[in-house]
Structure 1
Amino acid sequence: MMNTENFYRKLKGSGLLLMVLFFTISCEDFLEENPSTVIDSDYIYTTEEGLKSGVVSLYKFERDRYDASTEDFMGAVLMSSRSDLAFSRTGYTGLMGRYERGISPVDQGANFVSSLFWKHYYNIANKATAIINAAEVADVSEEVRNQVISEAKFFRAHSYFYLYRMFNNIYVTTETVTVDNAFDVVSDKSSEAEIFALINSDLNFAIDHLEWTDTFGRVTKGTAKHVKAKVAMWQGDWTEAKNQAISTIEEGPHSLVSSTADVFAGDRNNSESLFVIQSLDDLLGGGNTTMMNANYVTQYFQISGIEANIEQGGRGFSRVLPNLYLLNLLAEDPNDTRDDDTYFRLKYYYTSGDRIGEQVDNYEPITDLNNPSSTYQNYYKRMHPSCIKFAQEDDNPDSYLNRSNITVYRLAETYLIAAEAIMRSTGDPLPYINAVRTRAGADPVTTVDEQTILDERARELAFEGQRWFTLKRMGQDVIDFQITNYAGDGEYFPANLGSKDPRNNWQPHFINWPIAQRDLDLLGPGYPQNDGY
């Protein structure tokens, strides 16, 4: 097992190696001689170190979506902007979150989604497939083979699962892309049965062969079981979802951290983390700086007497904010610790001048649409509550760009999966949902229904990229109701923004993202676009 620093170094090196290989492999037949220093397909696909490097490169490719600087790092925050929990204030991400862009196969938003999601996940799936197929016949030990294949199969399953949840009309394959078949045309989407058969087969293999613990940042048995439970919920297999979630909670080394303040503390290397995107300052392979946190934090530091500081969220530019629906859910229990200083920053305090230590009170929010305050626009920019889950203690408060680890999956969601799966099948869901609530200091609930689950997932998991998928999974009626009632700031959506109200812009067919026309043009002439586009 490699140490964490070596994992970072291999992360960058393997990513570059595999990218070079995929671009040069088709030319190797034309070379009359190969210097001993050249890394070719024989190395990457037939040797133990080559296969291991190929697997590590998948982690680098997974991180690429977060590292991509497209429109202020839209790839890292887009899924959170399009939900019933967010007020998407400005920027191109705001246009996407308000359903003004990304709603046609030919608009620029669809092209951004093509690069950041469609091409991104197909790229990972194709590379994982090449590694899987090579490892199955390579002359390596059974232990190495199983480790390589299990990690690669996790990434392939995860990629196809993400694509299916976004785009619905996708195709899956277990065939390696080669020079001979690279230009073969895909004529039709895969059936739902084919998609889930491959995803489940890959995850089953990963569960069987991964260990419960590994170097921080690498996927484990718990990661695979967590995703398997999520997949089962999409299939309506509540017993399987329950079993996988409870197994992850009870059989593995994972546990909820003791307080909400600890969940996103430090580098996220804690007992609750199931999958964390790795970045590290001043280290080869440590990843790029991003504006993920800056998207979620207001410009409070533009107020005289308050400087940007990590405790209050760092330096932000107020793109995607928690809306009143979410803030009201958090405020229902006055003892709930998730509403200030841990997951969200609700109040700001002067750091210099005559009022140092006092609460900032410069601007008023909208409380009456017919008589809005004269300062509400600056309230949204500078005093509105912020999500601070992605601010890290060693971030630079004077920069919008920072390099931080990003939690993708954690055990609190596993508990909520268990609660929902039990609620929809058999057993008592209360211990699982109340474990999350009592950790946050909130009173336990006494009954559980779909709305209870939806509300608790909002409080616990908001802005972690899962909400859109939860709404879609629960069905057309659920997503239609939640978006048309609560997206933006609901009834308090600023009247001066007019047609920018996401509640009014929402159309039921937006439940599936459009496949960009430039991607359809590469597919067969009969390949189906999603309905409504």
Structure 2
Amino acid sequence: MKKIITILGVIALSFTVTSCDRFLDITPEGKVIPTTVEDYQKVLVSAYAKYPTHKSLTALRTDELVLDNNSMDFASLREIAMWKDSNLDQVTTEFPWVSFYTVNFYLNQIINEGSKTMAGGNERNQILAEAYALRAYTYFDLVNLYGKPYNSTTASSDRGVPISLEIDLEKVLPASSVQEVYQQIHADLTKAEELMITEKQVAGENFHFSKVALKALQARVALYQQDWQKALDYANQALAINNQLVDLNSSDVIPNRYDAAESILALDLALNNSVQNVGYASQDLLNSYTDSDKRFDLYFERNGDQYKVKKGGSTDYRVSFRTAELYFIKSEALLKLNKLQEAKEALLPVLKTRYNATGYAELQSQVNAMNNSAFMSFILEERFREFALEGQRWYDLRRANQKTITHEVNGKEYILQQNDVRYTIEIPQSAKKNNPYLQ
């Protein structure tokens, strides 16, 4: 019964929007203006519920999937796999833009108005902390979809996305620079850190931010900005709260389940039904696993002469942050800080839980022989395997090597060249029509 209740707690995200939308119309006539802690808790849950499933779509742009041309969802997703961002046909699913700013509007309501009307206390502070944290996460995702990867030498001139901090749906804003967006992210993270009360959420409530989820986000942000010392510090702080890993030698729990011991924030539906149904695991992805890798049989299942991905398609597999990523961040940060041996030692706990005893012993020997360059390549290869179809691959490709990728769609070959401009997704045409600053 407890298991059923916790699963329903996650599934309920999909059904809270209608009942809570009445709070978000600022016109008083016939509407309810939120004022209490209970009101704003509902607004916050609506913000979480509306968070877009964009990471499913990014998987179609990576080297993780090949398309099934006979899938019923093929027509609506094929142009994404072709890296076609403009002049889309009418059935193609558009990358979300309005959804992000809808979530942002909810959060601005909480931050700007809830801070004035909610009674003081821990509940108020937790709601505000989560609103700041989720707004930071929203802009982090936005800038990593529609802005260039962070580069300290060009971030001040690289175009990012508009920053809206007011409750004004009519205001048209120009895009801020990538640097300005990251500055706003840090400002929100600082406020969230000041106010956050809950150390970690229980399964079923862990779509909410907590202290450990906030630290995980701070670690990821620092990693993407190549601020290695902060990435290391935040990863260590998060691991001090939760350092558990699922040992695949003794468990058949897929680590990205919302109720797995590794789960930190279970918000993103990183692989939805449509993308799961339209794609098979790519040969590059399948070939990256060895026979001693315990993840393969958990992640994939044979379907004819192809393999389908098992780690998605339902709300059980909501994942935004989990502890394995913290070990990877720690290892990469140590490596970039020229602490090669410490970097290797930081990643070994994950590897020990992912390979059988023989495979781990062999891998440990190989890792010990690696120099800095080889170990960096190994970290990225392991991330490819570990976080397959969890929404991290597109971001990793952008920040790492922006490799050449080839897709075949309807018998025709499409190529994303190395360092292709399409590694930055074009702002949707619908958004440009409503905002001349984005042309």
* Alignment TM-score > 0.5, same fold: yes
* Displacement after TM superposition at 1:252 (Å): 0.3
* Displacement after TM superposition at 1:240 (Å): 0.9
CA distance in 1: counterparts of 2:230 and 2:60, whole angstroms? 31
Partner AA of 2:309 in structure 1: C
CA distance in 2: counterparts of 1:450 and 1:266, whole angstroms? 24
Counterpart selection for 1:513 from 409, 414, 425: 425
* Displacement after TM superposition at 1:237 (Å): 0.8
- Partner residue in 2 for 1:468: 394
2:88 matches 1:107: yes
CA distance in 2: counterparts of 1:189 and 1:119, whole angstroms? 15
Kindly tell me: are residues 147 and 183 of structure 1, through their superposed partners in 2, closer, same or farther at Cα, counting changes over 3 Å? same
* Displacement after TM superposition at 1:121 (Å): 1.0
2:348 matches 1:434: yes
Kindly tell me: are residues 97 and 242 of structure 1, through their superposed partners in 2, closer, same or farther at Cα, counting changes over 3 Å? same
Equivalent residue runs for 1:364-379 within 5 Å:
none
Kindly tell me: are residues 97 and 8 of structure 1, through their superposed partners in 2, closer, same or farther at Cα, counting changes over 3 Å? closer
Kindly tell me: are residues 10 and 268 of structure 1, through their superposed partners in 2, closer, same or farther at Cα, counting changes over 3 Å? closer
Q: Structure 2, unaligned stretches of length 5 or more?
A: 148-159
CA distance in 2: counterparts of 1:238 and 1:266, whole angstroms? 25
Where 1:407 maps in the other structure, the secondary structure is coil
Counterpart selection for 2:134 from 122, 141, 155: 155
Equivalent residue runs for 1:334-353 within 5 Å:
334-339=291-296, 341-345=297-301, 347=302
Q: Deviations over 1:273-324 (max 9, x none)?
A: 0111499xxxxxxxxxx9935743xxxxxxxxxxxxxxxxxxxx4x222222
- Partner residue in 1 for 2:161: 170
Contact 1:87-1:322 at 8 Å conserved across structures: yes
Kindly tell me: are residues 465 and 342 of structure 1, through their superposed partners in 2, closer, same or farther at Cα, counting changes over 3 Å? same
Where 1:135 maps in the other structure, the secondary structure is helix
CA RMSD of aligned residues (A): 3.0
Equivalent residue runs for 1:105-504 within 5 Å:
106-108=87-89, 112-114=93-95, 117-168=96-147, 169-177=160-168, 182-186=169-173, 188-208=174-194, 209-216=196-203, 217=206, 218-249=208-239, 251-259=240-248, 261-264=251-254, 268-277=258-267, 292-293=272-273, 295-296=275-276, 317=277, 319-331=278-290, 334-339=291-296, 341-345=297-301, 347=302, 382-390=304-312, 404-427=316-339, 428-441=342-355, 442=360, 443-444=363-364, 445-446=367-368, 447=370, 448=372, 449-474=375-400, 478-479=401-402, 482-484=403-405, 487-488=406-407, 498-499=411-412, 501-503=413-415
CA distance in 2: counterparts of 1:9 and 1:97, whole angstroms? 27
Where 2:93 maps in the other structure, the secondary structure is helix
Contact 1:77-1:465 at 8 Å conserved across structures: yes
CA distance in 1: counterparts of 2:49 and 2:128, whole angstroms? 17
Kindly tell me: are residues 227 and 266 of structure 1, through their superposed partners in 2, closer, same or farther at Cα, counting changes over 3 Å? closer
Kindly tell me: are residues 139 and 99 of structure 1, through their superposed partners in 2, closer, same or farther at Cα, counting changes over 3 Å? closer
Kindly tell me: are residues 5 and 473 of structure 1, through their superposed partners in 2, closer, same or farther at Cα, counting changes over 3 Å? closer
Kindly tell me: are residues 262 and 293 of structure 1, through their superposed partners in 2, closer, same or farther at Cα, counting changes over 3 Å? farther
Contact 2:59-2:65 at 8 Å conserved across structures: yes
* Displacement after TM superposition at 1:518 (Å): 2.0
* Displacement after TM superposition at 1:109 (Å): 7.7
- Partner residue in 1 for 2:23: 21
CA distance in 2: counterparts of 1:50 and 1:522, whole angstroms? 31
Counterpart selection for 2:32 from 20, 33, 40: 40
Contact 2:256-2:263 at 8 Å conserved across structures: no
Partner AA of 2:393 in structure 1: R
- TM-score under structure 2 length normalisation: 0.81
Kindly tell me: are residues 210 and 430 of structure 1, through their superposed partners in 2, closer, same or farther at Cα, counting changes over 3 Å? farther
* Displacement after TM superposition at 1:426 (Å): 4.1
CA distance in 1: counterparts of 2:392 and 2:379, whole angstroms? 13
Kindly tell me: are residues 96 and 225 of structure 1, through their superposed partners in 2, closer, same or farther at Cα, counting changes over 3 Å? farther
- TM-score under structure 1 length normalisation: 0.68
Kindly tell me: are residues 266 and 145 of structure 1, through their superposed partners in 2, closer, same or farther at Cα, counting changes over 3 Å? closer
Where 1:190 maps in the other structure, the secondary structure is coil
- Partner residue in 2 for 1:373: none
CA distance in 2: counterparts of 1:230 and 1:403, whole angstroms? 23
CA distance in 2: counterparts of 1:408 and 1:96, whole angstroms? 26
CA distance in 2: counterparts of 1:77 and 1:469, whole angstroms? 12
The size of the alignment, in residue pairs, is 400
Contact 2:334-2:343 at 8 Å conserved across structures: yes
Kindly tell me: are residues 421 and 506 of structure 1, through their superposed partners in 2, closer, same or farther at Cα, counting changes over 3 Å? closer
CA distance in 1: counterparts of 2:111 and 2:202, whole angstroms? 21
Worse-superposed segment, 253-262 or 234-243 = 253-262
CA distance in 2: counterparts of 1:512 and 1:452, whole angstroms? 25
CA distance in 1: counterparts of 2:338 and 2:124, whole angstroms? 39
Partner AA of 1:292 in structure 2: N
Q: Deviations over 1:384-403 (max 9, x none)?
A: 02221126xxxxxxxxxx66
Contact 2:132-2:188 at 8 Å conserved across structures: yes
Counterpart selection for 1:59 from 48, 69, 73: 48
